[in-house]
Each structure stands twice: as C-alpha cells, then as structure tokens.
C-alpha cells in the first residue's frame, strides 16, 4: 500500500473539520429557528369573533329605525351573521322576535364582549329593531 504524504492527510483532516463544523452550525441554526419561532397560537390575545362581522359602537348608534337594509349593508360593507347560523347561546341573550323580521348578529368591536342584534322587516327591508347585550346580559341601546 502506498503511504499518502502528510500534507494530503492534513488537507483531508481540515476538510473533514470544516464539513463537521458547517453541519453543526446548520443544525444549530435550525434548532434556534424552531426554538424562537413565533407560536401560531399567540396570534392576538382576543378570542375569535364568533360572528365574522363586526361594527363599532358609533356605527351601532348611527342605525336609525326605518333605515333600508341595502343602505345598511352598503354603509358597513358586511351583512352580519344570520340568526340561523348564530350559536344558540348568543341568540338566547335576546328576547324572541316576531316572525316577520330577519335578524343578524354582530360583534361590537370597540366594546369587549358586546353583541348586537339588528332586525329588518321582511319583505320591506327596513330596520325595525336593534338590540345590544353586554356580558352581564343587560339590554343596552334598545330600539323597537
């Protein structure tokens, strides 16, 4: 067997050390990126909006009886969550309504834990009722 010169062995050893150090740095970088990556469960500290749509308290106060449903939708650019798709626990916060109205549910975005129900006459499409409930289940801002 032919003996390799000492310089060749040193070069091979140097290449091996560089490769192992590079691998160690790569593994450390991956480990640090995993350790310090943002937790996907921490996207905001607020609970998700169960209604999908929200309005501000100023928008709620601006709703006047007789407002046309299309003007309401145009103003807010949203429709709210229909009653048949709203969780029962929110529907039960409000008193029963007559059969000739269509209601939608909204989150009041700048008032934590406040829910609004907005009802329009069917088929005329005019605002006939707006109710707001807070966490204490007390009626706020009732218009009938």
- Give the mean pLDDT per block of 10 residues along the chain (144 residues): 77 92 93 80 55 83 90 84 86 90 89 88 90 67 46
Instruction: Give CA separation, 17 vs 4, 7, 26, in Å.
Output: 19, 15, 14
Number of helices and strands in the chain (H, E): 4, 6
Neighbours of 78 (CB within 10 A): 15
Q: Are 108 and 131 in contact (CB under 8 A)?
A: no
- Residue extents of the structural domains in the chain: 6-39, 54-143
Angle at 31 between CA 27 and CA 36, to 5 degrees: 150
Q: What's the predicted TM-score (pTM) here?
A: 0.60
Class of domain 54-143 as given by CATH: alpha beta
Question: Nearest-CA neighbor of 113 among 129, 136, 91, 139?
Answer: 136
Distance CA 119, CA 137 (A): 19
**Residue 41: its pLDDT value, please?**
57
pLDDT, tens digit, for every residue of 69-89?
888 888 888 888 888 888 888
Distance CA 122, CA 71 (A): 15
């Amino acid at each position: 067997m032919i003996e390799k010169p000492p310089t060749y062995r040193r070069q091979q050893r140097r290449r091996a050390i560089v490769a192992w150090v590079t691998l160690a740095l790569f593994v450390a970088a991956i480990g640090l990126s995993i350790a310090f990556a943002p937790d996907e469960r921490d996207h905001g500290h607020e609970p998700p909006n169960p209604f999908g749509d929200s309005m501000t308290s100023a928008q709620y106060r601006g709703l006047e009886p007789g407002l046309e449903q299309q003007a309401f939708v145009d103003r807010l650019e949203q429709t709210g969550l229909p009653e048949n798709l709203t969780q029962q626990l929110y529907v039960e916060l409000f008193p029963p309504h007559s059969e000739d109205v269509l209601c939608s549910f909204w989150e009041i975005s700048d008032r934590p834990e406040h829910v609004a129900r907005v009802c329009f006459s069917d088929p005329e499409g005019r605002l006939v009722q707006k109710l707001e409930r807070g966490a204490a289940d007390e009626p706020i801002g009732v218009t009938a």
